[in-house]
Amino acid sequence: MNFYQNLLNTWQIISRNKIRSFLTMLGIIIGVMSVVVIMSVGAGAQSLILNQVKSLGSNLVGILPGKSDDKGPPASVLGIVVTTLKDGDRAALVSGVFPHIVAASSYVRGVDTVTAGGNKTDTNFLGTSAAYPRVENVALLSGRYFSDEEEKGIARVAILGSQARRDLFPDADPLGQSIKIKRTNFQIIGVMKERGSSGFQNQDNQIFVPLSAAQKLLLGIGHINFMRVKVDAAENVDGTIADLKTVLRERHGVTNPENDDFSVRSSNQGLEALTTITNVLKFFLAAIAAISLLVGGIGIMNIMLAAVEERTREIGLRKAVGATSRQIIWQFLTETVIITFMGGLIGIILGSGISIAVAVVAQNRGYNWDLVITPSSIILGCVVSISIGLLFGISPARRAAALNPIEALRYE
């Protein structure tokens, strides 16, 4: 009954000072909301990246320039230009020596404003090998992909993604038409089927050209950005990776594996590495957002200390009629915990609403974005709110309990 009466008294005090109560819990609302949003949006962004890797299948092997350890990404992933990988390496891998390799493709990327008549679009162009459709399991809506002979002969041909086709040729059949990339004309020979977004890249807005043309005519480079190798079955991936490393070390003159100038990983290994990296980023951002909870807790303590001063006569009267110091402490702690709990609850609701809105917008734009709001994050938000109430409410509560009833009754 005493506990119930304490809750009832606390609710009456909070209701009597609605504005002050709201301002008291505002810091907690913002802090909990920020943590929920960052955790949910971070998990959604993580799913966006990982879903794309999963969609490529478990029988793909990626080769990137630059050395990396087993858990960290290669330097090229961090934006550092590494030129150790060449298309000749790909040619050596598909020479027929390795029975489990189905196909392999080299890749280079560039960005430009592409024009076609009076239309233009800012987009990425991707230089690939002729085996790209087999490696990536993509299909054409119309036309064809370029051949090995065209790739080797620096043919000025291109394939449009479905969005690029709509941007450049909204009312006409693009096959046989010309587009200009970096002042070089390319003839359209095919249009890709709609593929959606991959990671943060709209695949339908890309333009595909032969690797040799991208290297020599558009980028002026002799290296490749990365390579993908398709293996016939997932169970043959590990053995193929060992073979790939052996060949690349022979071609690059590497005698000590510690001096590798390339990184070879299966899609599953890449998935694990990406999961580790994105988890670290996600929790780092959540920790930064949690600082606002500390600020909110300090704000609550200051306001409750001011409330002790304001209610000094009330405290003196309660002690004069028999209230113990323990009861006074519990009264103020209950007030603080209820305020922080309500703030945490509102923060969870607002954070969940924002997270749902972000997920809906991302999904409507074609991104493979998962909405992740786990029960554990909601429970954690409630527990953290209550803990902050207890932690920052103890000082005002003890100060109130220490008041001398006679002095308190004289307080003006």
In which element (H, E) is residue 113 found?
strand 101-116
Structure tokens at 13: 């005090």
Strand partners, 126: 109, 208
Count of beta carbons in the 10 Å neighbourhood of residue 184: 13
How many Å apart are CA 125 and CA 111, to the nearest integer?
6
Give residue-wise pLDDT tens across range 232-257: 887 888 888 888 888 899 999 888 88
* Residues 79, 83, 87, 92, CA torsion sign: negative
Q: Quick one: pLDDT at residue 100?
A: 86
Task: State whether residue 365 is helix, strand or coil.
Answer: coil
327 φ, ψ (degrees, to nearest 5): -65, -40
Decide if 288 contacts 80 (C-beta within 8 A): no
- First-last CA distance in the chain: 33
Structure tokens at 358: 């972000």
Q: Where are the domains of the chain?
A: 2-52+273-410, 83-260
The count of C-alpha atoms lying within 13 angstroms of the C-alpha of 332, restricted to the half-sphere facing its C-beta, is 31
Task: State whether residue 311 is helix, strand or coil.
Answer: coil
Residues in the chain predicted with pLDDT less than 50, given as ranges, are 1, 199
Give residue-wise pLDDT tens across range 192-222: 998 765 545 677 889 999 999 999 999 999 9
The count of C-alpha atoms lying within 13 angstroms of the C-alpha of 314, restricted to the half-sphere facing its C-beta, is 11
Q: Quick one: pLDDT at residue 154?
A: 93
119 φ, ψ (degrees, to nearest 5): -105, 150
The beta-strand segments (E) located in 144-211 are 157-160, 178-181, 184-192, 197-198, 201-202, 207-210
Q: Quick one: pLDDT at residue 1?
A: 41
- Cβ contacts of 70 within 8 Å, gap of 6 or more: none
Structure tokens at 206: 């890309």
Q: Quick one: pLDDT at residue 43?
A: 76
Q: Quick one: pLDDT at residue 275?
A: 67
Decide if 221 contacts 137 (C-beta within 8 A): no
